């Protein structure tokens, strides 16, 4: 039996290996965490027109995210109400109906069951179609283009859920009036490893950069260690926000502009960003940013591109990463093309940074699940008790490196895992 | 040179290239590419038959490298600290179905299929399957690849540490 209250030790700042390896923990997590959080499902630029749809996952539930004919975004469980067959079998498109290929039940983009073959002959006209529409996530809300959905009808608003994280997200999402546009296509790859190891790294682990990405350091492409003096508190820091979200601010200069026009665009965007943002946010323009929105959505802004990704759970020791590339909507083609190429070179499945991370998460779960090893917890003590409040910034600030933000992720996770199991069936 | 002879020449070149990759002779492998090369592998999408557009503008890709990008990948491996391939995997490239699609003086387009088997660390064994379309150009008497389009048959990949 799992002793749920011992999985995370809030006093000692440790986490049990079972959190990453145990099937019973994993199954409970699907309900208690993925069933009661806001989960990222799509970006508004993927659903420009009525009838546009993309498929995705919310935890282990396949969903289809659609803009219906009234303009409202809806998130349907991609499963026919009759036998459960997948009703939408392509990754993206535009449609007026979703027709199940098994027996032909047909739903409109509002999710209503509108077509039942042999309705008179075999159902005698008695099937109450209005009761058998597609199941849908009861809550769908968006924040600056990012659409989230929740299975929990009673969950707090997305705005409240994001909490202090919004202030940091805005530095990236509110840089320009035009915002971000998703490039076509999705990077999808499976990795050995528990999804939380990836989420925690983006949410507050820049400690790994020097070692895990040592190859990039040796090529002179990662700045050496942390800076000294007061600068770390100002531009080179990590944040523990409320609700388990984490943010990393890295004082890495933008890469040198390859052409004059790219340089001019970068300068213009930075000027616009400084005008749009509050002064304390403006001071962070020109940095790289990495963050995790609890539980499994991460962002990375670096070298002019933004990647938004989901760490889809696929069992305790497996994850499937879905990662989108975004460029600034008003970026000239040459700027967008460069951002796209930088994204592919650095943080795609072949990325010269990304590859290293994928290696670590797999071997962590491979080794820590043994009957002896799993008795001994993992250490998340770095920086505990040394965070600071900053009058101008929300959250608890700490220069690199610290694990107070990462541990906040696990405290949030643990709270959900141990709360009364609301709505569990 | 007859078309048959030219076809056999590219067959030999592609086998030689695979041999270089399988024997960690990556610097020699790099020399097969023109300085202006585009080496790219667009992502795959599940859509209706005939609707997938691999040349779609700005479509994401698993690779989209120029010579500098490819060179950086090789230099990174040579640091000995690229941990996703250190200790290195055992990799074997199989090339088949080689077809000379077009030949015109110093230019030729050659298609081929590949299977790449990767094994490391006891449990991790991966197979990558796909085809390539290479545009070759004779520069100073030697054939160089100016563009390599890699079409992978997977829509969900694994950690992509191999070169095609």
Sketch out chain A's domains with CATH numbers. 39-141 (2.102.10.10), 164-418 (3.90.380.10)
ipTM of the complex: 0.96
pLDDT in tens, chain B (164 residues): 788 899 999 999 999 999 999 999 999 999 999 999 999 999 999 999 999 999 888 999 999 999 999 999 999 999 999 999 999 999 999 999 999 999 999 999 999 999 999 998 887 899 999 999 999 999 999 999 999 999 999 999 999 999 99
Chain B: nearest CA to A282, how far in angstroms? Answer: 30
Q: How many CB atoms lie within 10 A of CB A365?
A: 20
Using a CB-CB distance cutoff of 8 angstroms, which residues of chain A are in contact with residue B62? 187, 344, 348-350
Structure tokens at A151: 């299975």
pLDDT digits (tens, 9 = 90+) for A92-128: 999 999 999 999 999 999 999 999 999 999 999 999 9
Furthest-apart CA atoms within chain B: distance in Å: 48
Interface contact A344, partner B, CB < 8 A? yes
Sketch out chain B's domains with CATH numbers. 3-45+59-152 (3.10.450.50)
Run of H or E including A339:
helix A333-347
At A260, is the pLDDT very low, low, confident or very high (cuts 50, 70, 90)? Answer: confident
pLDDT digits (tens, 9 = 90+) for A368-402: 999 999 999 999 999 999 988 999 999 999 887 89
pLDDT digits (tens, 9 = 90+) for A26-72: 999 999 999 999 999 999 999 999 999 999 999 999 999 999 999 99
What pLDDT does A1 receive?
A: 57
**Test the A interface: residue of B71, B82, B85, B128 with most A CBs within 10 Å:** B82
What pLDDT does A425 receive?
A: 43
> Is B43's CB within 8 Å of A92's CB?
no
DSSP designation for A275: H
What pLDDT does A209 receive?
A: 85
Closest residue in chain A to residue B63, using alpha carbons only = A344
What pLDDT does A228 receive?
A: 46
pLDDT digits (tens, 9 = 90+) for A209-258: 888 888 888 888 776 554 445 566 788 899 999 999 999 998 876 666 67
Using a CB-CB distance cutoff of 8 angstroms, which residues of chain A are in contact with residue B45? 91-92, 185-186
Run of H or E including A354:
helix A354-368
What pLDDT does A254 receive?
A: 62
Residue B87: asked if its preceding bond is cis (omega within 30°), the reply is yes
DSSP SS3 for A189:
strand
Q: How many CB atoms lie within 10 A of CB A12?
A: 12
> Is B84's CB within 8 Å of A355's CB?
yes
Chain B: nearest CA to A343, how far in angstroms? Answer: 9
Tell me the C-alpha distance between A161 and A147, whole Å. 13
Q: Which residues contact A425 (CB under 8 A, 6 or more apart)?
A: none
Structure tokens at A159: 């705005």
Tell me the C-alpha distance between A202 and A291, whole Å. 5
Closest residue in chain B to residue A55, using alpha carbons only = B46
Tell me the C-alpha distance between B47 and A296, whole Å. 26
What pLDDT does A219 receive?
A: 85
Using a CB-CB distance cutoff of 8 angstroms, which residues of chain A are in contact with residue B63? 344, 348, 350
Structure tokens at B110: 């050659």
Say whether pLDDT at A422 is over 60: no
Tell me the C-alpha distance between A46 and A272, whole Å. 25
Q: How many CB atoms lie within 10 A of CB B53?
A: 12
């Amino acid at each position: 039996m799992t002793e749920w209250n011992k999985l995370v030790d809030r006093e000692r700042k440790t986490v049990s290996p079972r959190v990453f390896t145990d099937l019973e923990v994993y199954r409970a997590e699907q309900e208690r965490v993925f069933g009661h959080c806001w989960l990222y499902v799509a970006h508004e630029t993927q659903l420009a027109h009525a009838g546009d749809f993309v498929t995705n996952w919310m935890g282990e539930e396949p969903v289809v995210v659609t803009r219906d004919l009234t303009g409202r975004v809806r998130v349907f469980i991609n499963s026919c109400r009759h036998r459960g067959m997948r009703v939408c079998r392509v990754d993206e498109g535009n449609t007026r109906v979703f027709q199940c290929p098994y027996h032909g039940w047909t739903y409109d983009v509002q999710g209503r069951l509108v077509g039942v073959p042999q309705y008179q002959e075999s159902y005698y006209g008695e099937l109450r179609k209005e009761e058998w529409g597609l199941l849908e996530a009861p809550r769908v809300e968006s924040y600056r283009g990012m659409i989230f959905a929740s299975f929990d009808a009673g969950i707090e608003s997305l705005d409240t859920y994001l909490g202090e994280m919004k202030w940091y997200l805005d530095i990236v999402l509110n840089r320009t009036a035009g915002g971000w546009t998703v490039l076509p296509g999705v990077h999808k790859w499976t990795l050995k490893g528990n999804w939380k190891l990836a989420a925690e790294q983006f949410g507050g682990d820049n400690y790994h950069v020097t070692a895990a990405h040592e190859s990039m350091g040796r090529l002179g492409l990662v700045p050496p260690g942390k800076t000294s003096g007061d600068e770390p508190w100002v531009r080179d820091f990590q944040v523990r926000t409320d609700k388990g979200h984490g943010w990393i601010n890295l004082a890495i200069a933008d890469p040198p502009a390859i052409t004059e026009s790219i340089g001019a665009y970068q300068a213009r965007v930075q000027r616009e960003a400084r005008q749009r943002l509050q002064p304390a946010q403006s001071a962070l323009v020109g940095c790289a940013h990495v963050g995790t929105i609890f539980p499994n959505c991460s962002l990375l802004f670096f070298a002019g591109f933004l990647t938004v990704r989901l760490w889809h759970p696929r069992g305790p020791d497996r994850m499937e990463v879905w990662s989108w590339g975004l460029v600034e909507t008003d970026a000239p083609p040459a700027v967008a093309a460069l951002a796209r190429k930088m994204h592919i070179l650095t943080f795609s499945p072949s990325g010269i940074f990304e590859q290293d991370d994928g290696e670590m998460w797999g071997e962590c779960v491979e080794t820590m699940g043994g009957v002896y090893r799993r008795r001994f917890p993992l250490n998340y003590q770095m920086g505990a008790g040394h965070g600071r409040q900053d009058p101008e910034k929300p959250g608890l600030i700490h220069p690199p490196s610290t694990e107070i933000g990462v541990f906040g992720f696990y405290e949030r996770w643990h709270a959900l895992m141990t709360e009364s199991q609301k709505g569990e069936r | 040179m007859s078309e048959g002879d030219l076809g056999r020449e590219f067959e030999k070149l592609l086998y030689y290239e695979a041999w270089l990759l399988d024997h960690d002779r990556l610097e020699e492998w790099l020399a097969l590419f023109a300085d202006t090369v585009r080496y790219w592998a667009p992502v795959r999408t599940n859509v209706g038959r005939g609707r997938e557009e691999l040349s779609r503008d700005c479509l994401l890709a698993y690779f989209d490298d120029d010579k500098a990008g490819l060179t950086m990948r090789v230099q990174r491996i040579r640091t000995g600290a690229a941990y996703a391939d250190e200790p290195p995997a055992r990799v074997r490239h199989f090339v088949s179905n080689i077809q000379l699609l077009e030949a015109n003086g110093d230019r030729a387009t050659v298609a081929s299929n590949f299977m790449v088997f990767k094994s490391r660390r006891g449990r991790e064994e991966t197979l990558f399957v796909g085809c390539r379309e290479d545009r070759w150009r004779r520069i100073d008497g030697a054939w160089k690849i100016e563009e390599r389009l890699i079409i992978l048959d997977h829509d969900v990949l694994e950690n992509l540490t191999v070169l095609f």
